[in-house]
Structure 1
Amino acid sequence: MGGGRSLLYIILRNAALFLTAFLITSTVITWAQWSTTHYQLQDTYLSMLKFIQTTPTLQERANQSGMTYEEYAWYLTYRSLNIRPDFVGTMKTYFRQVWDIMEHGLGKWGSAWAYVRNTFSIFLLAEAGILLLGLYLGLRAGYNGGKTERLVSALAPFLSAIPSWFIGAILFLILWDLGYTPDFQMRLQDASTHGGVNAGTYLLAYLGPALAVFLAMVFEYAFIVKNLIAQERVSDYVLADRAKGLPDKRIRKKVLKTALPQFLTYTTYNLLEVLTAVFVVEIIFNVRGMGYLLLASFRVVYKPPHGIDIYLYPQLLIFVSLVMLALYFVVSTVMEVIYVRMDPRVSRGE
């Protein structure tokens, strides 16, 4: 490679990081479920066995499945606790179930990829708006200053201090008051009742949550871009170009080209922040997306007088983590390839 970074090297390195992050995440999720339930194995088994021995219906099911009462009791124990006899076996089971989720869906919940589609549709709409308007405002504020700079500098810290879910809740109420149905499921149901659901129906249903994420993130992005451009604007090469009398348009293009690798780096890291905001906001708008799966995968139930019970569904947690990490792997790889192509110092390994 001659000290440079080839495309194959970037892909292999990022793939190794992706697999490492996925294994660590899956291990932590499995450990959380295992540590909170494995001590109940024996007691749950004895309870299940006693229940089977006194319940003719369960005895018939055991016979139909070709299991002894003891084997069927263990089957029900593993199913109720959502673990297996040992930690490694539990983790392998979760991996197989995640594969089943990708291949066969979520049973009564429908296709897993429909949830992914909903989330990523909102994400792409919001991210497109953030990039377009955020870059425009940031470039204008950073290079020209003036009213645009004051606007970005004032709104960025204000909106950054407000949680995205709060902006989503306020927008939901405003849209509802204006006569627009912001609830995703209600909008789809209304459309199916009055003529059918099509691509336009989904697009209109996605606009509400996408707008909420856009409002929560766009000025923060513009503020970062403004600072990057402002730093480049006062650098030595810009001052030298101005002293030479070069046209302002040419200097601006040079500033943009020099700062663009930093934009790419920040944009890559910002993607997961935007995606996380989508998870939260889509719950406000009742979107069946990955945020809904995360909400369904973890519950804390108060049971007086003994305290609380924690219910985890590790398969869903691991599935959502896999999708998030896959997105970050693809985007970071593409961004790094572009970065290397744009910055000759990196491609030469300097």
Structure 2
Amino acid sequence: MGRAISRALLNYLLLILLVALISGIGIKDYSFYRADMKFSLMPPAERAVIEANASSMGMDPYDYYMRFVAPKDYPTLAMNPLHAGLYVLYHSLFDPDYDYPVPRKLMVVRTLVLTLLAEITIILIGFPLAKLALRKRRLRSTVRFLARVFNGLPVWAVAALFSLLIIMSALPNYLINGLGASTSLTRNLAYMAFPLISIVLVALWEFVEALVILLRDEFGKEYVRAKRAMGLPERRVERHVLRAVMPSFLGFLFQHFVEVSTLALVVDAFFGLFGLGKMLEWGFRISGDLYTLDPDVFFYPIAVFMVVNFFVLLAVTLLSELLTPGGGGVEA
């Protein structure tokens, strides 16, 4: 078990470093972009000081500014990409420099609640549906068809259809007008209804199809036929099969959780749930040839999901090891 956890930790550390490296490249480019704009718009008096200092060192004023002056306002300019990425991820998570119109904790809670509700709903619907699809070929074909359809249909398209439904029906328009800073539990849960349905409708069918394939392969193995030949009740046979596929299922479930988290960000931004998806929208804005990146805003959702996914991965790894034969779990 210790080896599996160590391997998971190592893999996640490598993932953090990769994300930090990619983030750092983007941050350094943006810092250079901001510093370049500031130099071009610098008042004559400040420019004269820069030119005098540069001349005394035998340097070009622009090079002097970028090397000695700009890093004071944009510290990531003086860092390598990996250092810059780690710096921004840490800074956005623990020391943000941004005045949020909605409390950050409330935005995190909304996104995580939506994600967990969607994943739990998919599991509760998906397992019975997959077991039924194993026995009914027509339902299995329908599930496969729907999985292909919704794999090619973006979640925002489904969200747009529900938005039109709200507008054209007697449902209250506040369901699509933005939740804002409301802390009412009833209002928050009511507002999540259509975002939740949108995510479940898109993500359910792929989940069911994968589960059907996993269970069908396991039911076809020799030990299952032997247990049935021994006269064991079908319910006990199913328990054996579920115990056997659980480690593989947990690995798939982690990947599915990450996918659902991404859908939650998209739906959140579309419906104005004011969660982490809205924060991403605030953090990166483009207007013509100009763009604005607020690192503390844009990278905060990334940092949050890396922390959340780390604990989910750790829990999945522990459960997988306990349920693997010889891993400490109880025999079925």
TM-score bin, normalised by smaller chain: 0.7 to 0.9
Q: Do the aligned partners of residues 247 and 145 (structure 1) sit closer, same or farther apart at CA in structure 2, a change above 3 Å counting?
A: same
- For residue 96 of structure 1, the aligned residue among 85, 91, 94 is 91
Aligned-residue identity in percent: 21
Cα pair 1:25 1:318 within 8 Å, conserved: no
Counterpart of 1:277, as a letter, is: L
Q: Could you list the per-position Cα deviations for residues 114-138 of structure 1 after superposition, in whole angstroms to 9, with x for gaps in the alignment? A: 2111111111111111111012211
Structure 2 residue 15 is matched with structure 1 residue 24: no
Counterpart of 2:292, as a letter, is: Y
Q: Which residue of 2 aligns with 1:305?
A: none
Q: Point out where structure 2 has 5 or more consecutive residues left out of the alignment.
A: 48-64
Q: Which moved more, 1:146-155 or 1:200-209?
A: 146-155
Shift, 1:286, TM fit? 1.1
Q: Do the aligned partners of residues 141 and 110 (structure 1) sit closer, same or farther apart at CA in structure 2, a change above 3 Å counting?
A: same
Q: Do the aligned partners of residues 39 and 319 (structure 1) sit closer, same or farther apart at CA in structure 2, a change above 3 Å counting?
A: closer
Q: Which residue of 2 aligns with 1:33?
A: 27
CA distance in 2, matches of 1:325, 1:215: 25
Cα pair 1:134 1:221 within 8 Å, conserved: yes
Q: Which residue of 2 aligns with 1:215?
A: 201
Question: What secondary structure does 1:344 align onto?
Answer: coil
CA distance in 1, matches of 2:38, 2:202: 47
Q: Point out where structure 1 has 5 or more consecutive residues left out of the alignment.
A: 54-70, 303-307
Question: What secondary structure does 2:41 align onto?
Answer: helix
What do you get for the CA RMSD once the two structures are aligned? Answer: 3.2
- For residue 300 of structure 1, the aligned residue among 268, 274, 286 is 286
TM-score by length of 1: 0.76
Cα pair 1:164 1:280 within 8 Å, conserved: yes
Cα pair 1:122 1:207 within 8 Å, conserved: no
Q: Which residue of 1 aligns with 2:309?
A: 328
Structure 2 residue 323 is matched with structure 1 residue 342: yes
CA distance in 2, matches of 1:301, 1:51: 30
Q: Which residue of 2 aligns with 1:87?
A: 79
- For residue 106 of structure 2, the aligned residue among 109, 114, 124 is 114
CA distance in 2, matches of 1:341, 1:280: 35
- For residue 201 of structure 1, the aligned residue among 176, 181, 187 is 187
Counterpart of 2:94, as a letter, is: W
Q: Do the aligned partners of residues 93 and 263 (structure 1) sit closer, same or farther apart at CA in structure 2, a change above 3 Å counting?
A: closer
Counterpart of 1:21, as a letter, is: L
Q: Do the aligned partners of residues 130 and 75 (structure 1) sit closer, same or farther apart at CA in structure 2, a change above 3 Å counting?
A: farther
Q: Do the aligned partners of residues 335 and 124 (structure 1) sit closer, same or farther apart at CA in structure 2, a change above 3 Å counting?
A: same
Question: What secondary structure does 2:262 align onto?
Answer: helix
Q: Could you list the per-position Cα deviations for residues 243-301 of structure 1 after superposition, in whole angstroms to 9, with x for gaps in the alignment? A: 33322222222222212222111001111111001111112211111111112222332
How many residues are treated as equivalent by the alignment? 308
Question: What secondary structure does 2:42 align onto?
Answer: helix
- For residue 292 of structure 2, the aligned residue among 268, 288, 311 is 311
CA distance in 1, matches of 2:260, 2:173: 20
**Superposed counterparts of 1:136-215, under 5 Å:** 136-142=128-134, 144-181=135-172, 183-184=174-175, 186=177, 188=179, 198-215=184-201
